[in-house]
Amino acid sequence: MKLDSMKPGQKGIVVSFDESDKKYRRKILRMGILKGTPFEFVRKAPLGDPVEIKVQGCMVSLRKEEAEIINVEVA
């Protein structure tokens, strides 16, 4: 499942990143969103961009393009 497909309140774990788009991967890793990292999906803006997640005690906003490359497992 992709991160941008989740619903508010759901919790999950980062499983992998799409290799097709390395443009955002480095930025996401620097934010602390690593493989195996647990998070909570907080909200999505009305038009779907950006999405907000709580990861490692911090609120992080991601653009839709960034959220689309993150594969997650719902916990």
Backbone φ, ψ for residue 67 (5° rounding): -65, -25
Instruction: Give 59's pLDDT tier (boundaries 50, 70, 90).
Output: very high
Give every CB contact of residue 4 below 8 A, 6+ residues apart in sequence. Answer: 44, 48, 51, 64, 67, 68
What predicted TM-score, i.e. pTM, was given to this entire model?
A: 0.83
Class of domain 3-74: mainly beta
Show the tokens assigned to 7: 């619903």
Each residue's pLDDT tens digit, 3-50? 989 999 999 999 998 877 677 888 888 888 989 999 999 999 988 889
